[in-house]
């Protein structure tokens, strides 16, 4: 007989506005304790320096984390010109300096070079693995290693303000795997200078924006309330909140039961054709199968056959 899990079976998403100086793991821990939840995870780590949107997944919502992480992200960031650091942000040690300061015209002129698919070398202080070890652990121990350039995509890059000769603030929409610290470093390089991030704020992760978020102060205030768990439960978004861009299929009771047991479902020609037409314009071919308003499984369609990929135990 398996050991009973600690906590309650809480399912859904909680979107936090992370402050600077706190780790993503610490934020998960606080929220999980307040909800007394059995299982929790987050949809994309934020560095301690960074602030902004940190989506937390609880229970069966953890099975949909990849959909939030794979979505577009929006960041505001400020770059200080003239200094490069080993971490590409102000938490690191200065490694090089430059006297050159770009003007607004020069900054605007280089931004189009970073739009679309680009090759980007991640920061040495990153969670990527090199021969089974985290890059940031190797960097902290002063070991020599190389990180290969990776393809990332920048959808929008705007200069918001020039904050004196030494600093500028930008906003970017980017795809999965983009390091904004590397983007800041590379913009500085194109401008013939050096640079590092002094402010980084995530404004959106996939479908989750600041309009959904609660602050750490609000979270802590709920923790001191007699109805802490109930108040926080009211802030939870449904599991399907991370799945707003995929096809949805309504199930009968019998079909839902089959999928819950991992069995495939054979659709009639009309339903299969309508579902295939809906999928035809989508990059993601995943289907959310629901019984009423209850998510049942994430599925794939092959001709008439609906196959469960991830079953949601709700």
pLDDT in the model for residue 283: 78
Buried b (16+ CB within 10 A) or exposed e, 116-136: eebebebbbbbebebeeeebe
Domains of the chain: 12-70+208-240 (3.30.2350.10), 73-205 (3.30.2350.10), 246-311 (2.30.130.10)
For residues 201-222, average pLDDT: 88
Band of pLDDT at residue 51, cut at 50, 70 and 90: very high
Average of pLDDT values for 56-85? 92
- β-strand pairing of 195-205 with 51-58: parallel
- Per-residue pLDDT tens digits for 222-272: 766 666 567 777 889 999 888 878 899 999 999 999 999 999 999 999 999
- With beta carbons less than 8 A apart as the criterion, state whether 75 and 25 touch: no
Residues acting as catalytic residues: 47
The pLDDT mean for the chain works out to 89
| Range list of H helices, 115-267 | 135-140, 180-190, 216-223, 228-233, 253-260
Q: At what angle do helices 216-223 and 24-35 cross, to 10 degrees?
A: 30
Q: Supply φ then ψ for residue 115, to 5 degrees.
A: -85, 150
Report d(CA 300, CA 314) in Å as an integer.
20
pLDDT at 4: 62
* CB contact set of 126 (below 8 Å; sequence gap of 6+): 135, 136, 147, 179
In terms of average pLDDT, the best of 40-54, 84-98, 131-145 is: 84-98
pTM of the model: 0.89
At residue 133 the predicted structure's pLDDT band, cuts being 50, 70 and 90, is confident
Judged by DSSP in three states, 170 sits in: strand
229: left (phi over 0), alpha (psi -120 to 50) or beta: alpha
Query: CA distances (Å), 35 to each of 5, 9, 27, 44, 239, in order?
Result: 14, 10, 12, 20, 16
Which pLDDT tens digit goes with each residue over 135-156? Answer: 777 777 777 777 788 999 999 9
Question: Structure tokens of 15?
Answer: 């979107």
């Amino acid at each position: 007989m398996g050991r009973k899990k600690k906590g309650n079976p809480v399912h859904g998403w909680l979107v936090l506005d992370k402050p600077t100086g706190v780790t993503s793991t610490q934020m998960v821990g606080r929220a999980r304790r307040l909800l007394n939840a059995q299982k929790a995870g987050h949809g994309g780590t934020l560095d301690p320096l960074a602030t902004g949107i940190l989506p937390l997944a609880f229970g069966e919502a953890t099975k949909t984390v990849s959909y939030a992480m794979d979505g577009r992200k929006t960041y505001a960031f400020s770059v200080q010109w003239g200094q490069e650091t080993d971490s590409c942000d102000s938490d690191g040690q200065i490694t090089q300096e430059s006297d050159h300061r770009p003007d607004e015209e020069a900054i605007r002129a280089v931004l189009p070079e970073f739009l679309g698919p680009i090759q980007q070398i991640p920061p040495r202080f990153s969670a990527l693995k090199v021969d089974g070890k985290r890059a940031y652990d190797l960097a902290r121990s002063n070991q020599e290693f190389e990180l290969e350039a990776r393809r990332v995509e920048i959808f929008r890059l705007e200069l918001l303000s020039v904050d004196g000769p030494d600093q500028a603030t930008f906003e970017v929409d980017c795809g999965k795997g983009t390091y904004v610290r590397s983007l800041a470093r590379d913009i500085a390089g194109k401008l013939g200078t050096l640079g590092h991030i002094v402010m980084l704020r995530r404004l959106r992760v996939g479908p989750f924006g600041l309009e959904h978020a609660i602050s750490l102060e609000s979270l802590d205030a709920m923790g001191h309330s007699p109805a802490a768990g109930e108040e926080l439960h009211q802030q939870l978004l449904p599991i399907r909140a991370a799945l707003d861009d995929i096809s949805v299929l309504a199930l009968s009771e019998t079909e839902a039961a089959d999928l819950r047991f991992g069995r495939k479902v054979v659709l009639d020609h009309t339903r299969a054709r309508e579902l295939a037409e809906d999928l035809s314009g989508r990059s993601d071919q995943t289907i959310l199968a629901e019984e009423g308003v209850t998510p049942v499984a994430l599925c794939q369609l092959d001709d008439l056959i609906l196959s469960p990929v991830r079953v949601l135990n709700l």
